[in-house]
Chains A and B, each alone.
Chain A
């Protein structure tokens, strides 16, 4: 799987949009960009994924650059409960494939 690079930490004010960047310059054509988050002492939670088009669901939006070498996860109205470590992973789309986690971004939402 392609390696990803994320900032180690970010802060965001409650109610504002949180924009989390991820670089994946070596991504292959058949690899998707996945985002997960992990709230303290819990298992990782799926957020969103995409291939090349921008995606939006009830949790977040995913913006992927045209060259697919980077992406941004957007939490439109961050709440205190969004405080977590966010992981960006690139992988082929196959249910039984192992996920390799990087260090992620520790996002702190401040009141």
Chain B
């Protein structure tokens, strides 16, 4: 089945530094990548949607200058958390979309646990 590989699975960084999270679609072309954030004991919240080769669309309340999304190819999308702060500590998950009708799709990455200290 379709696989999205997300790295790293865990990262600890110092406050004020930037962290990059990568999502690669291994056996399909992800024309769209969705980025979610999940705080402890809460549901997944959509942060932004990116289409290959164009700028990402951010959900209300998500700072586009803080969460930089790059989707330069059909197999790679990255999320960079810039100037990270402890409140950015969360579980970040990506999901790839093909743009075609795909009833089975469950193309989620494994998630990245970010801890900012």
Are A and B bound to each other? yes
Size range of the interface on B?
20 to 34
How distant is the Cα of A38 from the Cα of B6 in the complex, in angstroms? 16
> Among A36, A38, A46, A96, which residue has its beta carbon within 8 angstroms of that of B97?
A96
Number of contacts between A and B (CB, 8 Å)?
A: 63
Secondary structure of the A contact surface, majority rule: loop
Verify A98–B46 contact, CB threshold 8 A: yes
Query: Do B103 and A49 have beta carbons less than 8 Å apart?
Result: yes
B111-A41 in contact (CB<8A): yes
Interface centre among A42, A93, A100, A104 (most CB of B within 10 A): A42
Shortest beta-carbon distance from B36 to chain A in Å: 8
Whether B97 contacts A43 by the Cβ 8 Å rule is: no
Known: A41-B111, A93-B101, A95-B100. A100 touches B46 (CB 8 A): yes
Known contacts A93-B101, A95-B101, A101-B43; A46 and B106 CB within 8 A of each other? yes
**B93 lies within 8 A of chain A by Cβ:** yes
Also in contact, A43 and B111, with CB within 8 A (given A95-B98, A96-B31, A96-B99): yes
Supply 6 A–B pairs (Cβ within 8 Å), ascending by A: A46-B104, A46-B105, A85-B43, A95-B100, A96-B31, A101-B44
Q: Told that A38-B44, A93-B103, A104-B43 touch, could you supply 11 new A-B pairs with CB distance under 8 A?
A: A41-B111, A43-B108, A43-B111, A44-B93, A46-B105, A87-B43, A95-B98, A95-B102, A96-B31, A98-B34, A103-B43
User: B residues near A, CB below 8 A?
Assistant: 4, 6, 31-32, 34, 36, 42-46, 49, 91, 93, 95, 97-106, 108-111, 113
